[in-house]
C-alpha cells in the first residue's frame, strides 16, 4: 500500500493595499527565521515604479525576502513578493508564475488572483492573511482559501489603517479569525508546520476556470458564474456573476474581474467621464450655433439669427444644468 505524503501548513499568503505595508512589516519582524513555511506577499504596486518591497521586508525581520521569479519553486522560510504589473500566482508543483493576465479590480498585481491560485494548488496547506486596504479587493479569493481548507486570518478592522479589505474579508468568511498584528504573527508561527488533512471535496469549477484564465488566458472549464446584464468596464465584454457562500464578484469572458464595490467605483468613473464628454459636446454645439447666428445677422437673415440664437441658448442652458448635476454628484460622493 502506497503511503501518502504528510501535508503540513507550509504556505502563508498575505493580501494588503493602503496601510497594509506597515502592518506587514510589524508581522514580519515577529516571525522566526526558521519559520517552516513559504511566504507570498500580494500588495498593490505602481505598474511602472521599481518596487522596494523586498528590501523593506528584508530589513524588517530575520527572514530573507526576494522578488518573485517566474518558474521559481517557492522556498521555505523565505518571503516572495509581487513585482510591478504582474500577478503573483502559485501553480502546480508549488512553482511561481508572474502573469500579465487580465487585471482584477482594476489592478495588477491582484490580491484575489494570488489568493485563488494558492487556494487551488495548496488547499489546506495555506494560511491566508488579509491586511489593511480600501474597498473589497481580495475578499472572493480569501473565501476560496477558506473553502479549500486553508486557515483564514484577518487584521482586526479596528486596528487597520483602512478597514475596507478586512471588513470585506470577514463578510465573505464570517468564521475567519480577526487579530491585531502582534497576535497574527504569533498565530502564524503556531500554525506553520502543523500537519493537516488533505482536501476531501473536489475543487469548484469556477475556481478552476478563474485560475486557468489567470495562468494562461484560457480554460477547458465552463466560464465561471451566470450571465448578468453588465458590461465589463475594462473591455466592454459581457459579465458573469460568480456567487459563493459569503462572496460575490463579476468576471468577463476575457478574465477581467471585479468585486461589487470596485465595480461600482469603475462604473461611476465611466458615468462621470460620459457626463463631461456630453457637457463638452453641448458647449461646442452652443459655440457653433452662436457663430451661425452671427453669420445670419451679417447676411441680414433675421429669422435665421433668431433661430440659431434660440438653439444656442437652449444648448447653453443644458450645459449649466449638466454641470450643476455633475457637481452635485461630486458633493454627494464626498458626503457633503
pLDDT digits (tens, 9 = 90+) for 81-130: 999 999 999 999 999 999 999 999 999 999 999 999 999 999 999 999 99
User: Which residue of the set 10, 38, 44, 99 is catalytic?
Assistant: 44
- Considering the domain architecture, whether residues 55 and 161 belong to the same structural domain is answered as yes
Q: Residue 327 pLDDT more than 90?
A: no
Question: Residues in the chain, how many?
Answer: 336
Q: How sure is the predictor about 326, in pLDDT bands with cuts at 50, 70 and 90?
A: confident
- Considering the domain architecture, whether residues 39 and 128 belong to the same structural domain is answered as yes
- Considering the domain architecture, whether residues 84 and 164 belong to the same structural domain is answered as yes
Domain's final residue, options 196, 220, 240: 196
82 occurs within a structural domain: yes
- Whole-Å CA distances, 73 to 32, 80, 88, 90, 123: 21, 10, 13, 9, 17
- Considering the domain architecture, whether residues 183 and 50 belong to the same structural domain is answered as yes
Task: Kindly report whether the peptide bond that precedes residue 104 is cis, defined as omega within 30 degrees of 0.
Answer: no
Domain's final residue, options 158, 177, 196: 196
* Burial (CB count within 10 angstroms: exposed 0-12, middle 13-18, buried 19+), residue 121: buried
User: Which residue of the set 10, 112, 136, 137 is catalytic?
Assistant: 137
- 308: annotated active-site residue: no
- 301: annotated active-site residue: no
Of 136, 141, 132, 128, residue with least CA distance to 176 = 128
Q: Residue 323 pLDDT more than 90?
A: no
- 17: annotated active-site residue: yes
Domain count along the chain: 2
Give the domain range for residue 81.
Answer: 7-196
80 occurs within a structural domain: yes
User: Which residue of the set 17, 114, 140, 247 is catalytic?
Assistant: 17
pTM as predicted: 0.82
Position 336 scores a pLDDT of: 38
- Considering the domain architecture, whether residues 170 and 311 belong to the same structural domain is answered as no
Share of the chain above pLDDT 90, in %: 76
- Considering the domain architecture, whether residues 298 and 176 belong to the same structural domain is answered as no
- Considering the domain architecture, whether residues 282 and 182 belong to the same structural domain is answered as no
- Supply the CATH number for residue 177's domain: 3.40.50.180
- Considering the domain architecture, whether residues 169 and 267 belong to the same structural domain is answered as no
Amino acid at each position: 500500500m502506497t503511503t501518502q505524503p504528510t501535508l503540513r501548513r507550509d504556505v502563508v499568503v498575505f493580501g494588503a493595499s493602503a496601510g497594509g505595508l506597515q502592518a506587514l512589516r510589524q508581522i514580519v519582524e515577529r516571525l522566526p527565521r526558521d519559520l517552516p513555511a513559504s511566504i507570498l506577499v500580494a500588495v498593490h504596486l505602481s505598474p511602472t515604479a521599481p518596487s522596494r518591497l523586498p528590501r523593506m521586508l528584508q530589513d524588517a525581520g530575520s527572514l530573507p525576502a526576494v522578488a518573485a521569479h517566474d518558474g521559481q519553486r517557492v522556498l521555505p522560510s523565505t518571503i516572495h513578493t509581487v513585482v510591478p504589473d504582474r500577478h503573483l500566482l502559485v501553480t502546480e508543483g508549488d512553482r511561481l508564475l508572474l502573469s500579465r493576465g487580465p487585471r482584477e479590480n482594476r489592478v495588477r498585481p491582484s490580491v484575489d488572483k494570488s489568493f485563488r491560485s494558492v487556494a487551488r494548488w495548496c488547499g489546506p496547506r495555506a494560511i491566508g492573511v488579509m491586511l489593511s486596504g480600501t474597498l473589497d479587493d481580495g475578499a472572493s479569493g480569501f473565501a476560496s482559501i477558506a473553502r479549500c481548507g486553508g486557515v483564514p486570518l484577518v487584521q482586526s478592522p479596528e486596528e487597520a489603517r483602512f478597514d475596507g479589505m478586512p471588513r470585506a474579508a470577514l463578510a465573505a468568511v464570517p468564521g475567519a479569525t480577526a487579530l491585531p498584528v502582534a497576535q497574527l504573527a504569533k498565530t502564524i508561527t503556531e500554525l506553520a508546520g502543523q500537519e493537516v488533512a488533505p482536501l476531501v471535496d473536489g475543487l469548484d469549477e469556477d475556481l478552476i476556470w478563474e485560475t486557468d484564465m489567470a495562468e494562461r488566458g484560457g480554460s477547458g472549464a465552463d466560464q465561471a458564474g451566470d450571465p448578468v446584464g453588465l458590461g465589463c468596464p475594462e473591455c466592454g465584454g459581457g459579465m458573469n456573476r460568480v456567487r459563493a457562500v459569503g462572496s460575490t464578484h463579476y468576471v468577463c469572458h476575457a478574465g477581467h474581474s471585479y468585486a461589487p464595490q470596485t465595480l461600482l467605483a469603475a462604473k461611476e468613473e465611466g458615468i462621470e467621464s460620459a457626463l463631461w464628454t456630453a457637457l463638452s459636446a453641448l458647449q461646442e454645439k452652443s459655440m457653433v450655433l452662436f457663430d451661425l447666428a452671427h453669420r445670419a445677422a451679417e447676411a441680414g437673415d433675421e429669422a435665421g439669427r433668431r433661430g440659431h440664437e434660440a438653439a444656442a441658448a437652449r444648448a447653453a442652458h443644458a450645459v449649466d444644468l449638466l454641470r450643476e448635476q455633475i457637481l452635485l454628484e461630486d458633493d454627494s460622493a464626498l458626503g457633503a
